[in-house]
C-alpha cells in the first residue's frame, strides 16, 4: 500500500471513527440499537453540501449538518418513548424516511462539492500538500471531538446516561430521568454521525443519496474490533479504541482492495474485508485459549 493510499485510508478511517463513537453511544452505552445512522450520515452531508453550494460558509454549514442529524436522533427517540415502538423499528422508520428527506434536501441524488470552499479551505495553500493536510486536519477534529466525548461520559450527566443503559430501574431509583437521557443520547449520537457525513462530503467532493447505506455495519464493526483489540475500562481508552477500530477496518478494506495479486476479483472485496475483520476478532480469542492451554499444561506438569 502506498503512502498516499495509506493516508487516504487513514483519513476515511478517522472520519468513520466519529461514526464508531456515535454507534458506541447508542449500542453500548444506552443499549438502544439505532439504525438511524444510515440516514443521518447522509443527512449531515446533504445539509452541509446544500448550504455550502448556496453560499453559506462551510463551518456554520457543517454545524447545521450536525444539528440536522441530532434532530433525526430525537425523532427516533420520540417514536420509541412516546409510542412504545421497539427501538430497532423506530430507528428503521426514521432511516427510511430520511432517504426521501435527503433527496429533498439536496434537490437531486448527487451534489458535487469539488470546486466549492470547504472547512479545509482556510488551511489550504499554507504550504502543506493536500495529501497531508486532509488526514491531519481530520485527525485533529476527530481527536478533539473524541476527547470531549470521553470527558462528557465521565461527568455526572454522562454517568447517568450510562446508568440508563446499564440498569434502567436502578437509574430511576437514583433520580435519573430516563427519557431525557435517551433523547439527548440519540441526538448526540446522530449528531456525531452527521458530522462525519459532512466531513466526508467536504473531503471527497460530493454528497450522494446512497452514501449512507451500510453505515451501521461499519460503525458496529469498528466498535467491536476496537473493543476486542484494546479492551479497557478507562473512558479515554474506550473512545480511542473506537477510532482505532474504525481505522483498522478501513485498512482491512484497503488491503482487500490490493489483493488482486492473490488472485481475487474486484467483486470479492466484501468477502475479503469480512475475513480480515473476522480474523482480527478471532485472534485474541485463540490467543486466550492457547494461553489457557499452556497454563493447564504447566499446572499438570508441576503436579506430576
Partner 1 sequence: MIRCEQLKVTFNPGLPSEKKALRGIDLEIPQGEFVTVIGSNGAGKSTLLNAVAGDIPASGGRILFGDKDVTKTPATGRTKEVARVFQDPLAGTCASMTIEENMALAYGRGSRGKLSFALNDKLRKIFREQLSRLNLGLENRLDAEMGLLSGGQRQSVSLLMSALQPSSILLLDEHTAALDPKTAALIMDISAQIIAGKQLTVMMVTHSMRQALDFGSRTLMLHEGKIVFDLAGEDRSNYEISDLLELFAKARGSDEALDDDKLLLGS
Partner 2 sequence: MKFSTFAKAAALAAGVICANVQAEQTYIATTAIVEHPALDSVRAGIKDTLMENGYTDENLKFTFESAQGSPVTAAQIARKMVGNSPDLIIAIATPSAQAAVSASEDIPVIFSVVTDPLGAKLVSNLEKPGSNVTGLSDMLPLAQQLELLQEIMPNLKTLGVPYNPGEPNAVSSVEALKIIAKEKGIKIIEAPASKTSDVALASQKLIGSADAIYCPIDNTIISALEAVVKTGIDGQIPVFAADTDSVARGAIAALGFNYYDLGKQTGELVLRVLNGEKAGDIPVKFAKGTDLAINPKMAARMGIEIPASVTERATQIIE
Residue numbers of the site for partner 2 (CB under 8 A)?
A: 1-9, 11-12, 99, 103, 108-110, 112-115, 130, 200, 203-206, 208-211, 213-214, 218, 229-230, 248, 250-251, 253-255, 257-258, 260-261, 266-267, 269-270, 280, 283-284, 287
Burial class (CB in 10 A: 0-12, 13-18, 19+), 31: middle
> Which residue's CB is nearer to partner 2, number 56 or number 81?
56
Q: Does 84 bind partner 1 (CB under 8 A)?
A: no
> Which residue's CB is nearer to partner 2, number 156 or number 267?
267
What does the alpha-carbon distance between residue 34 and residue 116 come to, in Å, rounded to a whole number? 33
CA-angle at 263, arms to 260 and 266, nearest 5°: 50
Evaluate whether 253 touches 268 at the Cβ level (below 8 Å): no
Q: How far is the CB of 61 from partner 1 (least distance, A)?
A: 27
Q: How far is the CB of 24 from partner 2 (least distance, A)?
A: 19
Residue 249, CA distances (Å) to 34, 241, 276 in order: 20, 12, 8
Q: How far is the CB of 57 from partner 1 (least distance, A)?
A: 29
211: phi then psi, degrees, rounded to nearest 5: -70, -15
Among partner 1, partner 2, none, the one that 112 touches (CB under a kind-dependent 5 to 8 A) is partner 2
Q: How far is the CB of 173 from partner 1 (least distance, A)?
A: 5
Q: Does 163 bind partner 1 (CB under 8 A)?
A: yes
> Which residue's CB is nearer to partner 1, number 44 or number 185?
185
Can you give the three-state secondary structure of 174-208, one letter per residue? CCCCHHHHHHHHHHHHHHHHHHHHHHHHHHHCEEE
> Which residue's CB is nearer to partner 1, number 159 or number 282?
159
Among partner 1, partner 2, none, the one that 181 touches (CB under a kind-dependent 5 to 8 A) is none
207: phi then psi, degrees, rounded to nearest 5: -120, 125
Residue bearing cell 453500548: 28
- Interface segment toward partner 1; rule CB under 8 A; list 68-76, 168-176, 189-197, 208-216: 168-176
> Which residue's CB is nearer to partner 2, number 81 or number 251?
251
The C-alpha cell at 17 is 471513527
Q: Does 160 bind partner 1 (CB under 8 A)?
A: yes
Question: What is residue 54's three-state secondary structure?
Answer: coil
Evaluate whether 68 touches 47 at the Cβ level (below 8 Å): yes
> Which residue's CB is nearer to partner 1, number 15 or number 164?
164
Q: How far is the CB of 184 from partner 2 (least distance, A)?
A: 28
- Find, among 240, 205, 212, the residue nearest to 226 by Cα: 240
> Which residue's CB is nearer to partner 1, number 70 or number 160?
160
Contacting residues toward partner 1, per CB under 8 A: 152, 154-160, 162-163, 166-167, 169-178, 233
Amino acid at each position: 500500500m502506498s503512502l498516499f493510499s495509506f493516508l487516504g485510508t487513514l483519513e476515511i478511517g478517522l472520519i468513520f471513527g466519529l461514526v464508531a463513537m456515535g454507534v458506541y453511544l447508542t449500542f453500548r452505552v444506552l443499549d438502544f440499537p439505532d439504525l438511524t445512522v444510515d440516514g443521518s450520515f447522509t443527512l449531515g452531508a446533504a445539509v452541509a453540501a446544500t448550504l455550502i453550494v448556496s453560499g453559506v460558509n462551510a463551518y456554520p454549514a457543517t454545524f447545521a449538518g450536525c444539528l440536522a442529524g441530532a434532530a433525526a436522533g430525537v425523532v427516533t427517540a420520540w417514536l420509541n418513548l412516546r409510542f412504545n415502538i421497539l427501538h430497532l423499528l423506530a430507528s428503521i422508520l426514521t432511516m427510511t424516511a430520511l432517504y426521501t428527506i435527503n433527496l429533498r434536501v439536496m434537490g437531486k441524488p448527487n451534489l458535487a462539492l469539488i470546486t466549492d470552499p470547504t472547512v479545509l479551505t482556510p488551511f489550504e495553500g499554507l504550504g502543506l500538500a493536500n495529501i497531508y493536510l486532509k488526514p491531519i486536519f481530520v485527525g485533529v477534529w476527530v481527536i478533539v471531538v473524541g476527547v470531549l466525548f470521553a470527558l462528557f461520559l465521565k461527568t455526572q450527566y454522562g454517568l447517568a446516561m450510562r446508568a440508563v443503559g446499564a440498569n434502567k430501574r436502578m437509574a430511576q431509583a437514583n433520580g435519573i430521568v430516563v427519557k431525557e437521557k435517551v433523547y439527548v443520547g440519540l441526538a448526540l449520537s446522530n449528531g456525531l454521525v452527521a458530522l462525519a457525513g459532512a466531513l466526508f462530503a467536504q473531503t471527497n467532493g460530493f454528497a450522494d443519496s446512497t452514501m449512507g447505506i451500510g453505515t451501521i455495519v461499519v460503525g458496529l464493526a469498528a466498535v467491536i474490533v476496537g473493543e476486542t483489540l484494546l479492551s479497557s475500562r478507562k473512558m479515554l481508552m474506550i473512545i480511542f479504541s473506537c477510532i482505532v477500530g474504525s481505522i483498522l477496518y478501513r485498512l482491512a478494506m484497503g488491503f482487500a482492495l490490493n489483493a488482486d495479486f492473490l488472485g481475487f476479483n474486484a467483486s470479492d472485496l466484501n468477502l475479503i474485508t469480512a475475513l480480515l475483520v473476522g480474523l482480527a476478532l478471532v485472534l485474541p480469542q485463540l490467543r486466550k485459549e492457547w494461553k489457557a492451554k499452556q497454563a493447564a499444561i504447566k499446572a499438570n506438569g508441576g503436579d506430576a
